[in-house]
Structures are given as structure tokens and as C-alpha cells.
Amino acid sequence: MFFVLVATLFPIGISPEPEVLGEISAGVLWISALLASLLAMDNLFRADFEDGSLELLMLSPHPLYFLVLAKNVAHWLVSGLPVVLVSPLIAYMLNFPEGAYSTLVLTLLLGTPVLSLLGSIGVALTVGLGSRGLILAVITLPMSVPVLIAGTLTVSQTLEGASLSGYLAIMGAMLVAAFTLAPLASAAALRISVN
């Protein structure tokens, strides 16, 4: 929802000309996905922290790593996956160049989980704070830059007809690294924030 809303603002704010939109559409979609993920991130541990179930989760005998990972996957299914699914529609409305739709969806599919996993570190660090919106953004957005770069570059390379496998491999590597390392950092951060 927020994703669609932000993506709608770009044509209004920049230009409704199809040529201009086609040029920037990949970036617009990625930035919208990034902002949508940032906004949704706050819900990751929030409710659990407030009603105390987060503490119970941390006291449970299961390793916190897997619990954090499970929460991340569940969160991505309701916040990241819809973005991926709706992206072709928005891409069409933004006059996205033909022939790169599958790449766009594929990069978003690989990239949005990385955004969620990175964001969860920031959320875990700030979960106890009253006003955390800006801090969360300052911590999370710079860290998301590599994903943004990889995603938009992959799309633009497709349009130039270059081979994709290398770019997708790098995005996959980012996903694997985030998948293995980020929950470790989030779990450590949760132990610090909740005590």
C-alpha cells in the first residue's frame, strides 16, 4: 500500500511524461520498496516488545538466531512479498521498459529480504526507544545502499542486453550473507535492548 503510494508520488512530483518515467522507473520502484520496507520494519518486534512476548521468546530454549530468522521470514511474507507481487503493475504504470520485467521481479525477490534482514538489526537496537523513526532511518538507509545499487544496476544491465548471471549471483550472495549474519546481529541487539 505504502509502496504504491510512494510510487504514485514520483510521476506527480517529477513529470508525467512517459519517456522520463521510463528512464527513472527502476530507481523509483527500488526506492519505493526501500521506503516501504523501512516503514513496515517498525512492526517487526514492536508489538511483541510491548506485550512482553519478546522476553518470553528470548527465555525460550530455542536459539534466538532461529527465532529472529523466523520472525524475519514471516514479516517479509506480509510486507516484502506483496511489494514484489504488485511491482509489475506499478512498473507498467510507470512505463517501465519492456523486456526487463522478469529481471525487476527477480531482483526485488532477492533484494527485499536483504532489506528486511538489515532493517531488523536497526529495529532490534531501537526497540526500546520512544521516538525511533529518524534513528532507524539513519541506521538502516546507508546500509541498504549496496542492495539498491545492485538492484538498479541489474535492471539497467538487462536493458543493455548484458548477461545477468553475474549480477544475480552478487544479489544472491548478498542475500546469503544477510541471511546468515544479520539474525546474529539482531539477536545480539535484542539481548542488549531487552533486559
Partner 1 sequence: MDWTWFHKWGSPKWFYELSGKWLPWLVGAMVTCLLIGVIWALLFVPQDYQQGLTNRIFYVHVPVASISLAFFPLMAIAGTIFLVWRMKLADVVVKVAAPLGAWFTALALASGSIWGVDTWGTWWVWDGRLTSLLLQFFLLLGVVSLRTALEDSEGAARACALLSIVGGINVVVIKYSVDWWNTLHQPSSNFTLATDQANGPEIWVPLIFMIVAVYLFFAISLILSTRNEILQREKRAQWVIDLVAKS
Q: What residues line the site for partner 1 (CB under 8 A)?
A: 121, 125-126, 128-129, 131-132, 134-135, 138-139, 141-143, 145-146, 149-150, 153, 185, 188-189, 192-193, 195
Q: How far is the CB of 149 from partner 1 (least distance, A)?
A: 4
Burial class (CB in 10 A: 0-12, 13-18, 19+), 156: middle
Please say which residue, 90 or 110, places its beta carbon nearer to partner 1: 110
Shortest gap between Cβ of 102 and partner 1 (angstroms)?
Answer: 21
In whole angstroms, give the CA distance from residue 72 to residue 18. 37
Least distance to partner 1, CB of residue 92, Å:
26
In contact, 31 and 7? CB cutoff 8 Å: no
Report, in Å, the least distance between residue 41 CB and partner 1. 15
Residue 5 or 180 having the CB closest to partner 1 = 180
Q: Please, which residue, 13 or 142, has the CB nearer to partner 1?
A: 142
Q: How far apart are CA 101 and CA 85, in angstroms?
A: 12
How far, CA to CA in Å, does 90 sit from each of 68, 96, 158, 178, 180? 31, 9, 19, 27, 32
Cβ 82 to partner 1 shortest distance, Å: 27
Q: How far apart are CA 134 and CA 120, in angstroms?
A: 15
Choose between 90 and 117: whose C-beta lies nearer to partner 1: 117
Nearer to partner 1, 39 or 184 (CB): 184
Judge residue 39's burial from the number of C-beta atoms within 10 Å of its C-beta, 0-12 exposed, 13-18 middle, 19 or more buried: middle
